[in-house]
Each structure stands twice: as structure tokens, then as C-alpha cells.
Amino acid sequence: MCLQVFLVPAVANKVGAERLSRVAGLRVEKRHGEFHISVDGGCSCSLMSDNADWNAPTWDLDPKVLDGLARALRLLAEEAGGFELQALWIGDEPQTRSHSSLSKVVSDLQQNRLRNRHVYVVGKSAA
């Protein structure tokens, strides 16, 4: 199984994958309107720490990627009117969804408490 971390901008085509990649210091690929995030261009498993447990309620991400992800979130909030953020195993469906402030999502991320099988919605809904 593979982790997928992806962002869906609220307003399409305001920020490109290349720019998000530069800002985050991570690989960002646009697929069907979604930005998929990784360290190496593969699945998002490269974002996880060695201690990550895919059954845990929150993801244990490598601390080295947290600031870059936070910068990407801020950019989408500022220039694309918001975003939806999901981190889940390929094939899993989100179980919960919340409208959150950017500061709440960034706080969860920086404290390494990004929720598993959850959709964070910041700003305008992308869907």
C-alpha cells in the first residue's frame, strides 16, 4: 500500500505544480487537478517517518518535510482561495471532513498530527 498526500486548490490554475514544488522544497505533480506531494516523485510514503503506523489516527511524517508542506498550504490559501488536503492510503476513502482555518491545519501539521482518512477544507471548498 502507498500513502497519497494531495492538495486540491479551491480555484484551479492560480498556482502551478512547479511553483508549489519550489516553495515546499518537495516534489509536486499535478494529476487531474490535484497536487500530489512526495519527496522523490513516487508515492507519498517518502514523506513518512520510519516510525509511521498506517493504522494510527494521525500520520507520523518526517519532521524534515513539515515546514515545506506548511509553506505549500499557506501559498494555496493565499493565492488559490483555499484548498482541500487529504492524506490516506491509496484505495482508502476519507471518513471525516472538516472546515478548518489555515492556522489550525498548519498547527496540526507542525505538531505532526495530520489526521488519517480526513479531508481538511480551508477557505472556499474545492469540490
Using one digit for the tens of pLDDT, what is the confidence trace for 57-103?
A: 999 999 999 999 999 999 999 999 999 999 998 889 999 999 999 99
C-alpha cell recorded at residue 51: 516510525
Question: Closest Cα to residue 49, out of 36, 41, 34, 39?
Answer: 39
- How much is the pTM? 0.93
Confidence class for position 125, pLDDT limits 50, 70, 90: low
Quick one: the chain helix, strand, coil %, rounded to 5? 30, 30, 40
DSSP state of 114: P
Domain that includes residue 118, residue range? 3-123
Total domains in the fold of the chain? 1
- Residue tagged 498506517 (cell numbers): 54
Using one digit for the tens of pLDDT, what is the confidence trace for 23-32?
A: 999 999 999 9
